[in-house]
C-alpha cells in the first residue's frame, strides 16, 4: 500500500531518522529579528493532535508562537535566536509521531489526493471482505439450528480467518500507521483505541478458531473497519470543503503567468519568480498574477475574490490591479509592482490561515477537556473489562468485546473538532465577503456587540472626497500639495492630486487628529483643521465660503498670508444609508464620533438618520466617550480608518477598519474589510453571532453524545457496529453543523440579552442574530 502521507517524502531522513535537509534555509526573518518557518505536518486529525504539537513546541526555548492550522496542516513557528533551531523544532514534532515537511500548497493537494485514494482502496477491500465474511457467518449461524458438525464449522472459521487477516492488515492501514507512529514516540492519539479495538477483535477470533470455539468475530472486525473508513472518508471530504477558502486562494497565488520578454515573446513563468518592473500579458478570461499597474489595454475586471464586490470594475492605462482578480473583456499588459508573498492576495491567505487557527475562549475550553480525554477513555475501557470479567460473570472474549466498544465509541474527535472546524468555515465565509478576522477572540467579541461607533471621513465616506473649493491664491495650492505629499489622509491625498507636480517637502510632521506642520524659513506652516491652524469661527467665516451643508474643510496658514481654505464634499460609501437603517432596525445603537468640525458632521448624521453624533473630537475625546459607554454596560464596536482612530480602535470591545486605512489602524483592528461598501459590517455581525451559536451547539452535542453513549457501552448494550456508526456519525454531524454557516441569513431575528452594568443596574441590550 502506498504511504498515506506520500507528500512527506519532500523532507528526506537519514538511516537514524534525522532530517537530512537543513530547514534553516527556509526560515524567513523580519526586521526585528523574529524568525518564522512554515511546515507541513502529517497525521493531524483533531484538536488533540494540535494541542500536543503546540504544547510540545512552546516548551522549546526562544519560541514565541507555535500554531497548527487544522484545515491545512500548516505549522507556523516564530522564534528568536539561531535559524538552525528550525531543525530542532521539526525533530521535536517528529518525536511526537507526526511526520514533517516544508510547507507547499502543492504538497497539501498531493497529500489530499493520496489520502483520498488510499481511503477508497481500503474502503473497497473492507467492503469486499465484510460481505464475504457475512455470508460465511450466516452459514455458521444457520448451522447452529441445523445439523452442521464441528468440523464443518471449524472449516468455515478457517476460511473466514484466511479472508479476514490480510484484509484487516490492509484496510486498517489508515489507522494502524498513525497509531504505531504515535506509540513509538510514547504518545497516544485517536487512532490508538480504534486500532486496539480492531486488533483485539481479530485476535479473539483467531484464538476461537485455533481452539475450535463456537464464536468468531471476523465479520464484526471487517464491518467495524468498513464503517470507520466510511466515516474517515466522509470526514476527509467534508473537512476539505470547509478548508476550500484557504486552498483556493493559495492555489490562485501560485498560478503561472505569461511574462512579456524584451523581444515581444511570451514566456510562461511562475508568478513568484517575477521581479518588480517585469511585465506580463493577461488575456481575457485569465486571472492577474501580480499586483501592478496597467500599461497597455483596457478591460473590466472581476474583483469579487479580493474585496467581495460583485460589480466588475473598468480599468485603463495607469489603473492599479491586484493578483487574483479576473480579467473579463480585453487583453492587458501589466507591470508588476508586488509579486509572490508581497501581493495583497498572499496577505489575505496569511490572514485567513491565521484567523482559522486562532484560539479563543471556547477553543481553550475544548482543549482542556481533550487534554484529559484519552487517559479517561482508556481507564473506562479497562474498568469495563475488569468489571464484567471479575464481577459480571463474563468470560474474557465477551468482556473484551465490551471494552472494545467503549474504546471506539468514546473517541474525542467530535469535541476536538467542535470549535476549530467552525472557525475554519466562518473564516472562509467571511473571506469570500472580503472580511479578514485577525484576533483570536474577535468573533466571540463581535457576537456580543450592541453599540456601533463610526468615524466619519474614510469610514462612512469614501477615501476620495471631492475637492469642491480651492483658494484663489495658486501658491497656496502648490504649498499645500507639497506638504500633503507626506500624508496618507484622504483629504491630504485629494489636495495632492489637485497639484501633483508640486515638489515634495521633507521634514513634515504629522499630528494625529489635527494636521500637518512644516517649519519654513519664514516660520511655521500648518495644514489641517481650523483649530489646528489656530483659527476662530469668526476667522473661518471671514475667509471661507460655505458651498453646501456637508462639506469638510482643510486650512492652510503661513506667515504673511491670509488663511487659505480647501473645501471637500464627502462621497458616502455605497449602501451606507441602507446599512445604518438595517443596524438600527435590528436594535443596535449607532453613533458617529469624528474629529471633523461639528457643523460638517451634523448634516451627515442627519442625512443618515443618526441622532447620537459628536464632532471636533480628539483621539482622547473618543477614548473617553467609549470608556463611558463601556462603563454603562455597552459592548462597543469602533469602525475607523485614520491614525487618530487607532487609540479608539484599541479601546473598544471590538474594532473594524477598511483595508484602505492607515497601517497602524489596520494592525490595531480586530478585523479588516475590503471593497467600498459597509455591507461587510452586518455580514460580520451575523456571521459572528451564528459562529457563537454553532460552537455552543457543537460543544453541547459532543458532551451530550458522550454522556449518553459511554454508560450505554459500559453496560454492554452496544455492538462494535453500533459503536463505530456512533463514533463516525458524531464527527460528521459536528462538521456538517459547522458547514451550515455557509447558508446563514443575516439578521433573521432579534435577540435580547439582559445583563448588569458596573453599578449593578440591569441593562437590556438587543443584538442581531443570524439565522442558521
Q: What is the pLDDT of residues 610-656, one digit of tens each?
A: 999 998 887 778 888 988 998 999 999 999 887 667 778 888 888 89
Choosing from 118, 191, 367, 455, the catalytic residue is 455
Over the stretch 354-382, which tens digit does the pLDDT of each residue have? Answer: 544 544 455 555 555 555 666 777 788 88
Is the predicted pLDDT of residue 751 greater than 50, yes or no?
Answer: no
Angle between helices 150-171 and 191-211 (to 10 degrees): 160
Rounded CA-CA distance 617/626 in Å is 12
The contacts of residue 404 (CB under 8 Å, 6+ apart) are 196, 197, 200, 201, 381, 720, 723
pLDDT in tens, 422-479: 777 887 788 878 888 876 678 888 988 999 999 887 788 875 667 877 887 889 999 9
Average pLDDT over every residue of 173-182: 84
What average pLDDT score do residues 238-252 get? 56
Pick the more confident residue, 369 or 490.
490
Question: pLDDT at position 748, please?
Answer: 42
The predicted structure's pLDDT at residue 194: 77
| Mean pLDDT, rounded, for 93-97 | 84
> What pLDDT shows up at residue 427?
78
pLDDT at 727 over 70: yes
pLDDT on residue 527: 92
CB atoms within 10 A of CB 664: 15
Contacts of 211 (CB under 8 A, 6+ apart): none
pLDDT of residue 158: 93
**What CA–CA distance (Å, rounded) separates 47 from 419?**
9
- Mean pLDDT over 491-517 rounds to 84
- In the predicted model, is pLDDT for residue 753 greater than 80? no
Q: What is the tens place of the pLDDT at every residue in 548-604?
A: 445 568 899 999 898 998 887 767 888 889 999 999 988 899 999 987 778 778 888
Three-state secondary structure of 532-558: CCCCCHHHHHHHCCCCCCCCEEEEEEC
Positive or negative: CA dihedral 39, 41, 45, 49: negative
450 is catalytic: no
- Would you call 111 helix, strand, or coil by DSSP? helix
Confidence at residue 544, expressed as pLDDT on a 0 to 100 scale: 54
Model confidence over 126-162: pLDDT tens digits?
A: 999 988 888 887 777 776 666 777 788 888 889 999 9
In this structure, the number of other CB atoms found within 10 A of the CB of residue 346 comes to 22
User: What is the pLDDT, as a whole number, of residue 241?
Assistant: 54
* Lowest mean pLDDT, pick from 548-552, 684-688, 698-702: 548-552
Tell whether pTM > 0.75: no
**Res 762 pLDDT > 60:** no
Amino acid at each position: 500500500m502506498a504511504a498515506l502521507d506520500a507528500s512527506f517524502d519532500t523532507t528526506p531522513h537519514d538511516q537514524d531518522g534525522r532530517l537530512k535537509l537543513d530547514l534553516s534555509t527556509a526560515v524567513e526573518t523580519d526586521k526585528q529579528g523574529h524568525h518564522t518557518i512554515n511546515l507541513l505536518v502529517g497525521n493531524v486529525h483533531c484538536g488533540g493532535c494540535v494541542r500536543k504539537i503546540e504544547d510540545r513546541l512552546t516548551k522549546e526555548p526562544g519560541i514565541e508562537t507555535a500554531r497548527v492550522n487544522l484545515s491545512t496542516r500548516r505549522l507556523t513557528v516564530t522564534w528568536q535566536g539561531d535559524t538552525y533551531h528550525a531543525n530542532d523544532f521539526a525533530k521535536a514534532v517528529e518525536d511526537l509521531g507526526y511526520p514533517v515537511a516544508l510547507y507547499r500548497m502543492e504538497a497539501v493537494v498531493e497529500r489530499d489526493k493520496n489520502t483520498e485514494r488510499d481511503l477508497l482502496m481500503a474502503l473497497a477491500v473492507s467492503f469486499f471482505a465484510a460481505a464475504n465474511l457475512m455470508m460465511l457467518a450466516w452459514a455458521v449461524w444457520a448451522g447452529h439450528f441445523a445439523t452442521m458438525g464441528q468440523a464443518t464449522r471449524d472449516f468455515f472459521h478457517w476460511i473466514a480467518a484466511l479472508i479476514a487477516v490480510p484484509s484487516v492488515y490492509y484496510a486498517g492501514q489508515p489507522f494502524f500507521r498513525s497509531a504505531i507512529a504515535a506509540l513509538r514516540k510514547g504518545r497516544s492519539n485517536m487512532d490508538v483505541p480504534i486500532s486496539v479495538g480492531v486488533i483485539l477483535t481479530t485476535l479473539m477470533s483467531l484464538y476461537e478458531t485455533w481452539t475450535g470455539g463456537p464464536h468468531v468475530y471476523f465479520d464484526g472486525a471487517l464491518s467495524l473497519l468498513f464503517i470507520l473508513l466510511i466515516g474517515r472518508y466522509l470526514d476527509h471530504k467534508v473537512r476539505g470543503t470547509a478548508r476550500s477558502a484557504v486552498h483556493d486562494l493559495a492555489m490562485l497565488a501560485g498560478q503561472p503567468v505569461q511574462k512579456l520578454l524584451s523581444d515581444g515573446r511570451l514566456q510562461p513563468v511562475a508568478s513568484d519568480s517575477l521581479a518588480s518592473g517585469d511585465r506580463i500579458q493577461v488575456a481575457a478570461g485569465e486571472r492577474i498574477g501580480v499586483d501592478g499597474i496597467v500599461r497597455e489595454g483596457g478591460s473590466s475586471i472581476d474583483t469579487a475574490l479580493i474585496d467581495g464586490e460583485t460589480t466588475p470594475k473598468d480599468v485603463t492605462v495607469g489603473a492599479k490591479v491586484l493578483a487574483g482578480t479576473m480579467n473579463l473583456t480585453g487583453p492587458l499588459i501589466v507591470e508588476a509592482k508586488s509579486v509572490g508573498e508581497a501581493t495583497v492576495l498572499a496577505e489575505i491567505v496569511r490572514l485567513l490561515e491565521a484567523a482559522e487557527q486562532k484560539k479563543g475562549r471556547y477553543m481553550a475550553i475544548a482543549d482542556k477537556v481533550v487534554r484529559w480525554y484519552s487517559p479517561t477513555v482508556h481507564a473506562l475501557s479497562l474498568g469495563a473489562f475488569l468489571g464484567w470479567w471479575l464481577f459480571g460473570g463474563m468470560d474474557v472474549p465477551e468482556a473484551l468485546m465490551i471494552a472494545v466498544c467503549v474504546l471506539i465509541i468514546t473517541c474525542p474527535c467530535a469535541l476536538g473538532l467542535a470549535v476549530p472546524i467552525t472557525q475554519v468555515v466562518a473564516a472562509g465565509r467571511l473571506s469570500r465577503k472580503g472580511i479578514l478576522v485577525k484576533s483570536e477572540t474577535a468573533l466571540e467579541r463581535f457576537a456580543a456587540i450592541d453599540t456601533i461607533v463610526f468615524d466619519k471621513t474614510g469610514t462612512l465616506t469614501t477615501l476620495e472626497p471631492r475637492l469642491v473649493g480651492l483658494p484663489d491664491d495658486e501658491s497656496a495650492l502648490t504649498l499645500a500639495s507639497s506638504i500633503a505629499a507626506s500624508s496618507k489622509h484622504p483629504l491630504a491625498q485629494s489636495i495632492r492630486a489637485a497639484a501633483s507636480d508640486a515638489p515634495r517637502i521633507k521634514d513634515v510632521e504629522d499630528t494625529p487628529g489635527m494636521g500637518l506642520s512644516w517649519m519654513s524659513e519664514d516660520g511655521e506652516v500648518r495644514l489641517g483643521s481650523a483649530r489646528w491652524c489656530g483659527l476662530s469661527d469668526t476667522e473661518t467665516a471671514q475667509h471661507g465660503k460655505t458651498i453646501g451643508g456637508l462639506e469638510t474643510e482643510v486650512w492652510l496658514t503661513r506667515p504673511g498670508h491670509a488663511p487659505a481654505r480647501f473645501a471637500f464634499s464627502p462621497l458616502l460609501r455605497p449602501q451606507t444609508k441602507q446599512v445604518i437603517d438595517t443596524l438600527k432596525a435590528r436594535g443596535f445603537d449607532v453613533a458617529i464620533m469624528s474629529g471633523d468640525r461639528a457643523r460638517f458632521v451634523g448634516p451627515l448624521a442627519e442625512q443618515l438618520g443618526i441622532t447620537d453624533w459628536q464632532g471636533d473630537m480628539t483621539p482622547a475625546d473618543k477614548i473617553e466617550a467609549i470608556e463611558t459607554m463601556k462603563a454603562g454596560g455597552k459592548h462597543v464596536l469602533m469602525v475607523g480608518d485614520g491614525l487618530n482612530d487607532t487609540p479608539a480602535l484599541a479601546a473598544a470591545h471590538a474594532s473594524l477598519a477598511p483595508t484602505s486605512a492607515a497601517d497602524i489602524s489596520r494592525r490595531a483592528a480586530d478585523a479588516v474589510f475590503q471593497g467600498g461598501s459597509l455591507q461587510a459590517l452586518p455580514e460580520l455581525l451575523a456571521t459572528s453571532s451564528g459562529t457563537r451559536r454553532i460552537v455552543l451547539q457543537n460543544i453541547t452535542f459532543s458532551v451530550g453524545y458522550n454522556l449518553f453513549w459511554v454508560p450505554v457501552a459500559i453496560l454492554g448494550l452496544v455492538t462494535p457496529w453500533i459503536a463505530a456508526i456512533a463514533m463516525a456519525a458524531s464527527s460528521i454531524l459536528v462538521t456538517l453543523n459547522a458547514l451550515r454557516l455557509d447558508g446563514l441569513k443575516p439578521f433573521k431575528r432579534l435577540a435580547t440579552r439582559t445583563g448588569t452594568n458596573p453599578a449593578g443596574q440591569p441593562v437590556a441590550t438587543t443584538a442581531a442574530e443570524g439565522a442558521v
